[in-house]
Amino acid sequence: MNKQRLIPLIVATALFMENMDSTVIATSLPAIAADIGTSPLTLKLAITSYLLSLAVFIPASGWTADRFGARMVFAIAVGVFMLGSIGCALSSSVTHFVIARIVQGMGGAMMTPVGRLVLLRSIDKSALVNAMAWVTVPALVGPVIGPPLGGFITTFFAWHWIFLINIPIGLLGIFMALKYIDPIKSEDPERFDLYGLVLAGIGLGGIAFGLSVAGLNLLPWSVVGALVGIGTISMTLYVIHARRTGSPVLDFSMLHLSTLRASILGGFLFRLGIGALPFLLPLLMQVGFGLSPFQSGMVTFGSAVGAMGMKTLAARIIRTFGFRNLMTINAVVSSFFLAACALFTATTPLLLIMIILVVGGFFRSLQFTAINTVAYAEVGPAQMSRATTLVSVNQQLAISAGVAVGAFSVESTMALRHVTELSAGVFAPAFLVVALISAVSAWFFWQMPDDAGHEISGRKAVEISSRKGAATAAIKAATEGTQDARDQRLG
């Protein structure tokens, strides 16, 4: 297998492990809580502590990869994630479980951005679209197959195996990374911005933790507001600090690049809307329609089928239409299929629901591939680590915000209708709200130049080839016309 296919699969293996783990635990919380003697509500601290750990340590990933080498940091990150997984499986109390999840978060914070950095430094830009298509799939498949897999393992085996299945996957990932990824690192790493890391860590941690808690109903809204407020103040202080330092952990000055800016701002809005789907859809299926977690997971698996179907076509579609045209139109199309979920009722045939999810999954996956690829179209090799860190932080905040907006929309609908229990009817407005937010992202994608990302999509080569073809046809036509005129004179 060539490097253009092998390295994306190595990175995708680690990302699949992380994405699946994050959703599997949600299905199995009741069983885990009963076994270690606590309530599911208390154990939701395990989810929020993981997200908090991610938010705090992601900003350090770029510098760490430059200093110690992306391959080595990636392998160690997978090892740390495995260590946290073993700790989760062996936990006998809430405290032990939360600590293990924090360790997992430390590994996950390095795996995602550093894995993407490995990809960018190992794959030629002309092959980047195909590579990103392979890496994007785990981010979509993991959250979809997580719930049914978690329900199956918890029902027929024991919840401990949810975490232990990460071990062989992680060992394979480490072996493949050390064997096939080149040991590339920066020859002149920048000075570590510790003060900036503290400010960014508090800021991102407060915002991400606050938004995540809002979606779990774990704390009063006043406490959630305080967490988000403290995080916002800290991030404001960080922005002021970043302007005064030459090596910030989060380099917002890179937003002057039009493609990266569109990927960050437009991508945030798009991910916010789509990020609410794995939260809202299982609730609608289980609480609204009365399906079991396993049945619900099998229905929502349609999104993964659509995502898998996209990966072989993404490069061709992007090359045909170009990033700007495709991302602008596809943002609206993807949002339409997200809004279609508002029409689901208990009497809607499951086959129709699955068809909508399969087709919607195709367009969502195509959009994610385009967003993740075009972000690096104008980024030079020396700035890759900063760009991957910025993109990873943006993704984490968007997912947390998506869950919070989805939960807030459902609660607002319940309050307006004066109902206290969840039912199928209260989910429709939430799907419409997040779909509208996703659709707004089209405006940011339209702001990109018409030739945005042509070097990595191959569209420039297609246009040059087309122009050459047109010129050849014109010459041929002129020649034939001259020959006809000569024949007429001779006649």
Cα–Cα distances in angstroms (integers) from residue 377 to residues 56, 247, 248, 262, in the given order:
27, 22, 21, 11
Which one is predicted more confidently, 89 or 385?
89
User: How far apart (Å, rounded) are the C-alpha atoms in residues 226 and 221?
Assistant: 9
Cα–Cα distance measured from residue 164 to residue 168, given in angstroms and rounded to the nearest whole number:
8
At 46-79, the pLDDT tens digits run 777 787 788 788 888 888 888 888 888 999 999 9
pLDDT at 413 over 70: yes
What whole-number distance in Å separates Cα of residue 4 and Cα of residue 124?
8
Query: Of residues 164 and 246, which shows the higher confidence score?
Result: 164
Please check the confidence at residue 489 and state whether its pLDDT lies above 60. no
| CA–CA dist 481, 487 (Å, integer) | 10
- Can you read off the two tokens belonging to residue 444? 């940011």
Residue 271 tokens, joined? 């991910």
The pLDDT of residue 218:
64
Report percent pLDDT > 90 for the chain. 16
Tens digits of residue pLDDT in 195-219: 888 888 888 888 877 876 765 566 7
Helical residues (DSSP H) of 340-427, grouped into ranges = 350-374, 384-417
Residue 468: its pLDDT value, please? 46
Q: How far apart are CA 435 and CA 340, in angstroms?
A: 9
Nearest residue to 166 via CA among 102, 76, 77, 78:
78
Neighbour tally for 35: CB within 10 Å: 14
CB 132 within 8 A of CB 116: no
Tell me how far apart the alpha carbons of residues 244 and 254 are, in angstroms, rounded to a whole number.
Answer: 15
Q: How confident is the model at residue 465 (pLDDT cuts 50, 70, 90)?
A: very low
